[in-house]
């Protein structure tokens, strides 16, 4: 096997990151196409001692699970990995990947993986999308999504099936406007230029829409015309904000925000309560499935009237605020200042008085007396993909809660953390994966740990 040779390969599996997997002479081959059960012709693009990466040149035999993708961008887009795979088979793959993580990373093959909960909507389910501006080598400006496998190449999206027709039209209008006005586009290599991201947030249940233009530092040229153009063409827009950032990190988060239209926030409804969402604050990106996920969590946790509940990594307070009516008191903890402010406003707007929020890093808060006073009967954790920091995990377990409900967006770090939690005298019978993101590789899951040492 060498870099230039074209080879035939049987695809046997799908890897955690969405890549197709086959084997040659004991070496694992990760391919950017192909489905289990298919024979493909590949070209090796990179070799390492134990694995190689390959590009699929031709599908020689199609598997029965292959379908025609609905999206015209499927061949190039880094968003949907599995639009060409029947939805039922996508679910099965996700379920198998959760089991594999528990077994291989946590050594936890005794934990049952409950049937994955399918998404009610397979298309147009996202309430947030981030689109990137990009300047090609030929000087052509683009606004769209990342080309698969490329952090620095963007293609013009015409119709994405993940958010809505409204969002597709906004992207086109902003692309046309900024090109006509010749507003300079940011370059991720030399950090010159101005326009960086367009973020569309769409509260699916209230119909409110937030448009966020993220740029390098500096006044937005043609600002009034930009706002007038959007408001005229899209009366459904409720607020427009401009975020500026001096950071070189390629993330659509501003360091300072100017409200251009409306009040800078939208409201979404989950579990019968209303939540305020700002441009930079976290909110689950599939509102319908967030409700499903939270309800499964509450059914497992069975919060009790006299309990004190700790909601770690609480974002804008959603879970704790929903749980508050079922317990005596809730304390939420979150790193992002804006999210904490909004969490407090959300509690007030929903007339929830038995909740308080602390701003800070969970691992530091978990050693502060004021934060810990009163103790906690149960803890809900919903960390980012990296899972729990070892210190946060150790300090959380020192609180000796009766129950820990773990909501995870990464089965690998869940499995790693689960092993530590179980080693400290907790048990868990099962985990439930919930599909929040059809056609993508992302997996969400929830599981309850119960203290076994009395």
Q: Which residues of this protein are in contact with ligand SAM, per CB under 6 A?
A: 282-284, 313-315, 318-319, 333-336, 339, 361-362, 382-384, 409
- Tell me whether residue 37 or residue 360 sits nearer to ligand SAM (CB atom): 360
- Which residue's Cβ has the minimum distance to ligand SAM? 315
Shortest CB 223 distance to ligand SAM, Å: 29
Whether the Cβ atoms of residue 133 and residue 61 lie closer than 8 Å to each other: no
Whether the Cβ atoms of residue 134 and residue 127 lie closer than 8 Å to each other: no
- Tell me whether residue 197 or residue 406 sits nearer to ligand SAM (CB atom): 406
Whether the Cβ atoms of residue 267 and residue 203 lie closer than 8 Å to each other: yes
> Strand 39-47 to strand 209-215: parallel, antiparallel, or no bridges (unpaired)?
unpaired
Shortest CB 283 distance to ligand SAM, Å: 6
Q: d(Cα 429, Cα 441) in Å, to the nearest integer? A: 25
- Tell me whether residue 34 or residue 315 sits nearer to ligand SAM (CB atom): 315
What is the C-alpha end-to-end distance of the chain, expressed in Å? 58
Non-local (6+) Cβ contacts of 250 within 8 A are 151, 188
Shortest CB 290 distance to ligand SAM, Å: 7
DSSP type of residue 353: -
The distance of Cα 278 from the centroid of its chain, to the nearest Å, equals: 16
Q: Which of 77, 101, 314, 409 is catalytic?
A: 409
Shortest CB 196 distance to ligand SAM, Å: 20
166 — phi, psi (to 5°)? -55, -50
Shortest CB 405 distance to ligand SAM, Å: 11
- Tell me whether residue 160 or residue 319 sits nearer to ligand SAM (CB atom): 319
CA distance readout (Å), 54 to 11, 21, 26, 29 = 12, 10, 15, 7
The b-or-e profile of 302-336 (16+ CB within 10 A means b, else e) is: ebeeebbbbbbbbbbbbbbbbbbeebebbbbbbbb
- Tell me whether residue 303 or residue 383 sits nearer to ligand SAM (CB atom): 383
Whether the Cβ atoms of residue 29 and residue 17 lie closer than 8 Å to each other: no
Q: d(Cα 75, Cα 69) in Å, to the nearest integer? A: 9
- Tell me whether residue 38 or residue 257 sits nearer to ligand SAM (CB atom): 257
Whether the Cβ atoms of residue 183 and residue 194 lie closer than 8 Å to each other: yes
Shortest CB 38 distance to ligand SAM, Å: 35
Residue 323's closest CA among 342, 346, 343, 295? Answer: 295
Shortest CB 180 distance to ligand SAM, Å: 37
- Tell me whether residue 141 or residue 440 sits nearer to ligand SAM (CB atom): 440
Shortest CB 216 distance to ligand SAM, Å: 23
**Count of CB atoms within 10 A of residue 388's CB?**
26
What proportions of the chain, in percent to the nearest 5, are helix, strand and coil? 25, 30, 45
Non-local (6+) Cβ contacts of 86 within 8 A are 65, 66, 67
Which H helix or E strand runs over 370?
A: helix 369-372
Whether the Cβ atoms of residue 77 and residue 393 lie closer than 8 Å to each other: no
- Tell me whether residue 192 or residue 361 sits nearer to ligand SAM (CB atom): 361
- Asked if 231 is an active-site residue, the reply is no
Shortest CB 295 distance to ligand SAM, Å: 13
Whether the Cβ atoms of residue 159 and residue 145 lie closer than 8 Å to each other: no
The three-state secondary structure class of 90 is helix
- Tell me whether residue 133 or residue 449 sits nearer to ligand SAM (CB atom): 449
Catalytic residue list: 409
């Amino acid at each position: 096997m060498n870099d230039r040779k074209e080879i035939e390969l049987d695809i046997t599996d799908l890897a955690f990151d969405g890549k197709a997997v086959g084997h040659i002479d004991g070496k694992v081959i990760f391919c950017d196409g192909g489905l289990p059960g298919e024979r493909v012709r590949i070209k090796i693009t990179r070799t390492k001692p134990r694995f190689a990466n390959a590009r699929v040149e031709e599908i020689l035999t199609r598997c029965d699970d292959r379908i025609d993708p609905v999206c015209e961008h499927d061949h190039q887009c880094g968003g949907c990995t599995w639009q060409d795979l029947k939805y039922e088979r996508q679910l099965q793959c996700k379920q198998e990947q959760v089991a594999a993580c528990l077994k291989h990373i946590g050594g936890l093959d005794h934990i049952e993986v409950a049937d994955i909960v399918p998404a009610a909507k397979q298309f147009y389910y996202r309430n947030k999308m981030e689109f990137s501006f990009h300047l090609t080598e030929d000087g052509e400006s683009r606004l769209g999504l990342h080309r698969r496998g490329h952090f620095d190449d963007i293609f013009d999206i015409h119709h994405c099936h993940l958010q809505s027709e409204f969002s597709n039209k906004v992207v086109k209008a902003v692309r046309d406007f900024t090109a006509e006005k010749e507003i300079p586009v940011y370059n991720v290599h030399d950090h010159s230029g101005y326009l960086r991201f367009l973020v569309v947030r769409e509260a699916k249940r209230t119909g409110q829409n937030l448009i966020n233009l993220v740029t390098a530092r500096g006044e937005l040229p043609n600002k009034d015309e930009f706002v007038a153009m959007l408001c005229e063409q899209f009366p459904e827009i409720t607020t427009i904000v401009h975020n500026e950032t001096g950071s070189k990190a390629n993330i659509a988060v501003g360091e300072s925000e100017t409200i251009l239209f409306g009040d800078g926030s939208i409201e979404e409804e989950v579990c019968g309560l209303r939540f305020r969402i700002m441009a930079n604050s976290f909110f689950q990106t599939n509102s319908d499935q967030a409700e499903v996920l939270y309800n499964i969590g509450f059914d497992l946790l069975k919060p009790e009237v006299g309990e004190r509940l700790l909601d770690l990594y609480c974002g804008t307070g959603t879970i704790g605020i929903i749980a508050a009516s079922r317990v005596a008191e809730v304390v939420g903890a979150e790193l992002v200042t804006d999210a904490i402010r909004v969490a407090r406003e959300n509690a007030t707007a929903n007339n929830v008085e038995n909740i308080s929020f602390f701003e800070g890093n969970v691992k530091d808060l978990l050693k502060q007396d004021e934060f810990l006073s009163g103790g906690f009967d149960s803890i809900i954790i919903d960390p980012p993909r990296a899972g729990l920091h070892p210190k946060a995990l150790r300090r959380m377990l020192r609180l000796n809660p009766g129950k820990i409900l773990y909501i995870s967006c990464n089965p690998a770090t869940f499995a790693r953390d689960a092993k530590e939690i179980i080693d400290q005298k907790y048990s868990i019978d099962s985990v439930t994966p919930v599909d929040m993101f059809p056609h993508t590789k992302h997996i969400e899951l929830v599981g309850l740990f119960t203290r076994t040492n009395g």
